[in-house]
Structure 1
């Protein structure tokens, strides 16, 4: 057995991940509950065994070398695979996943997502005869909000088991299934005090290009990020989420296209003004996709899936739930989940 295999333990890979995330040996030592000298010694042991330099220490910070970055990337992938193996083993024994990862596009209804979580925990408690939220079931939900291609990337790279709000026109790699979620209509909106609020209609691209746009950054790290509805040479304010984008447009910091269900409450209240534009605006088709065994049956067959993922897919088969995820952004009466 090689020396590299002996030192590339889950503990060593986790140590690399923590150092990279915290940015220094001292901060990583605190996060791991170690003294800095012990952590430094462990890193040197790892470097000696691999015969490479993992960190450039000249700056006084933990800066990764090219070799260190490669080990970090591959180490994170290996840790995800180890977690997935443990999850599959437990699922074989009990039918329930240890953890279920779900990526959610940022335009989905947060109240509806949380109601689904609440219903999931209640269903788990009912099956085990316990009280909701009392830890009677050990499937942990791990939700993450993504933007544009980032939602799809989280699924195809194995970071999550289910992605809700992906583009529905994708070529599917082996082991990925996709169903239609619905479509979202976008509107061009500005604050009442924005110069375009008084512009002649419909507004041309030439006129739009003269004004700053507010755009949400694609969260994809490996796939090619998507850019939507931005014009060449247009000034852009880039933000992290659709909600921040809307907040920026409410302040008149820029203009842009926003999902009509999210903007509706602001348009009705007069805080945003929807303006017709010359370019054709088509509804955006969205879907939900999940990781399934390549040996599974036809689409709709949930055989081979864990019980937690199966539960979520059953909820998404309800037209009411799908519509609520895309349109219910206010505070109406509680949604009845199928």
Structure 2
């Protein structure tokens, strides 16, 4: 379908409105006034509408002209953004980078890297997406995200992925100080634990098999959407379960959660950075290197 509205005509219309006259637009666009008048006249003829009301001493936009200008400015902005993003991509920079992080880690772990990236003054939009359990790998495999921080190898799907080890996450079985399990002596048994609901963070995977580590088959559950909510449920004494120790250091220190020994301890899990092996955009690889060497992130994992 042929359109009679051109980017150039919209630029002329925008300049006239901002400068307040045809002469002002001509000066800004480095054209003679007759060229500005011709552009508007041709646009009016092609659209078969009056863009300016010329009955007074000064040309004033008609309602149709005002509508054309308002909508046209959106097109001008879109055209400018398109040109800019095309240049970015030609230079190897993505226009957007989506970073998924495993809920075992707090979002705050990413803030130093994001701050350093912002200091580069590269116009790349960064989107942070929280995932739980196998949802991290699922998001990467389906390309809902470009990079995963905190991917475990237990739920890794088949595919060509690059990974880098970040460290290990230890777990503790935690209960509120007023919970009945808090008063029991010695290591807790399965028969003791299953009497009380387990707090569960729901797996966000859409295609991969979901995970639910640390729950007994006969145990009732209270399901929430992330680890933060699971921590809150357990602090409130409404549920029990395994929690990543680095996430609850403060709660253990101030006594709002108590670590309990169990007969079958849960082993730490190794967590990694992960991306599609062939993806090597500049923003992606910058975060890949930055997070691989992030001392604060490694310290957060390792401090007892």
TM-score range, shorter chain: 0.5 to 0.7
Residue 283 of structure 2 aligns with which residue? 308
Per the normalisation by structure 1, the TM-score is 0.61
- Equivalent residue number for residue 203 of structure 1: 188
Cα distance in structure 1, aligned partners of 2:142 and 2:300: 24
Among residues 85, 93, 96, which one is paired with 1:96 in the alignment?
93
Give deviations 1:185-240, integer Å, cap 9, x for gaps.
Answer: 10011111100001121001111111111010001111111111110110100011
Contact 1:151 1:163 in 2 (8 A): yes
SS at match of 2:109: helix
1:187-266 superposed matches below 5 A: 187-266=172-251
Instruction: Look up the SS of the partner of 2:112 in the other structure.
Output: helix
* Cα separation, 1, equivalents of 2:300 and 2:93: 25
Q: Which runs of 5+ in 2 are unaligned?
A: 1-82
Question: Which of 110, 114, 121 is residue 117 of structure 1 equivalent to?
Answer: 114
Matching residue within 83, 98, 104 for 1:107: 104
**Among residues 276, 288, 302, which one is paired with 2:261 in the alignment?**
276
Alignment match, 1:298: none
State the partner residue of 1:161.
Answer: 146
Q: Is the 8 A contact 1:109 1:324 kept in 2?
A: no
Q: TM-score, normalised by structure 2?
A: 0.68
> Is this contact kept in 2: 1:91–1:306, CA < 8 A?
no
Give the 5 Å matches for 1:1-40. Answer: none
Alignment: residue pair count: 222
Partner Cα separation in structure 1 for residue 265 and residue 273 of structure 2:
26
Distance 2:222 2:146 in 1: 33
Check the 8 A contact 1:217/1:241 in 2, yes or no. Answer: yes
Question: Does the Cα contact within 8 Å between 2:113 and 2:294 map onto a contact in 1?
Answer: no
Cα RMSD after superposing both structures:
2.4
Report 1:41-56 matches (<5 A): none
**Pair 201,320 (structure 1): closer, same or farther in 2 beyond 3 Å:** same
1:275-325, Cα deviation, whole Å (9 max, x unpaired): 1000032111111101232xxxxxxxxxx7111111101112216144146
State the alpha-carbon separation in 2 of the partners of residues 227 and 172 from structure 1: 17
Report deviation, 1:111.
2.3
CA 1:87/1:185 → structure 2, altered by over 3 Å: closer, same or farther? Answer: farther
Aligned-partner Cα distance in 1 for 2:299–2:107: 10
Q: 1:317 corresponds to which residue? A: 292
Deviation at 1:119, TM superposition (A): 1.0
